[in-house]
Amino acid sequence: MSSETFRIALWSVNLGAEAGDLKAWLKRAESRVIEAKAQDARLLLMPEYVSEGFLAWKPAGLPEREEIAWLASQTPAAIDGLRTLVDRHDISIVAGSMPFAKDNTHTNRTHALLTDGRTLTYDKLCLTPAELDPVNMNIATGSRLTVFEVEGVRIALLICLDVEMPALSMLLAPLKPDLILVPSMTHQLSGYHRVYGCAKARAVELMTSVAVCGTVGVAKGATLHETNVSGAALYIPCEPELGFDGIAASHPPVDGMAREEPFVIADAPVGLVRRLREGGAEVWPGSWTGEHVRVNFEK
């Protein structure tokens, strides 16, 4: 990795992969950490609801409405285990997301486990109808964006549907993030195209890099989701100096039922994008607010 780039690994976890307990799951995670480190990645991104794979060892007879609470009970040990991997292998991990117990409810939380010892968190802001279902999931919404710097790179966190919200782009724009990380979970190609298409749009409008990965396959014992479809991609601004098409790396969508598991190593072009943002871009107007615009609506 040069000072111009920041190398990341995108792991679209196959939830159906064999793991009989948390120890085995962490061993599998360590194999991917080692693979990423061997290719000089400085950060590994995991997908949204990556802990749904834990349902393979849930208690017998656990009611569907109690699955989120049980998954949340596993989150602290899983995060502690991933922190050990960060410290052992000197690579940061953004641990997808997992249900997290908070104030008598649960949030959909990602943990950024950084090599400098910090652990930062972010709770999903825009929830799906399934997450808002008061019977089975009943997830509470977050209330803050999380932006941080690691190794000189400014990173923002969003989760899945969050990246489809232009209002969040407006909040991020003044902060000039170098990289936006988007763990996702989408069950059909329609969801995949919404998330990935909007991620590419965010890269263009914010003049930044946006990385996305999602779950594939189905966890043994899963009841909430019957399919998962995703790929993995790093999107960048559509500029001549960056290859025109806005795609730095991309793995096509798969459903994981043939044991596929996208794993992509990609370099976020931090230095070049910063220079383009400061005046070298082809037509980018900067952080355009539209504050001078008035709506004229006539019937």
Do the beta carbons of residue 217 and residue 257 sit within 8 Å? yes
Structural domain includes residue 292: no
Structure token pair of residue 93: 């991990």
Q: pLDDT digits over 39-75, tens only?
A: 999 999 999 999 999 999 999 999 999 999 999 999 9
Amino acid 1: pLDDT:
44
Domain tally for the chain?
A: 1
Structural domain includes residue 29: yes
Q: What is the CATH number of the domain that holds 104?
A: 3.60.110.10
CA 252 to chain centre: 17
Tell me how crowded residue 257 is: count the other CB atoms within 10 A of its CB.
14
Structural domain includes residue 1: no
Amino acid 18: pLDDT:
85
Structural domain includes residue 91: yes
Structure token pair of residue 96: 């997808």
Q: Tell me the pTM.
A: 0.97
Sign of the Cα pseudo-torsion (242, 245, 246, 250, in order): negative
Domain membership of residue 230 as a residue range: 6-277
Structural domain includes residue 294: no
* Whole-number Å distance between alpha carbons of 87 and 95: 14
Amino acid 223: pLDDT:
83
Structural domain includes residue 56: yes
H helix runs in 39-156, sequence order: 67-89, 129-132
Amino acid 2: pLDDT:
57
Structural domain includes residue 288: no
With a cut of 70, list the residues of the chain below it in pLDDT. Answer: 1-2
Structural domain includes residue 287: no
Residue in the block written with tokens 């159906």: 16
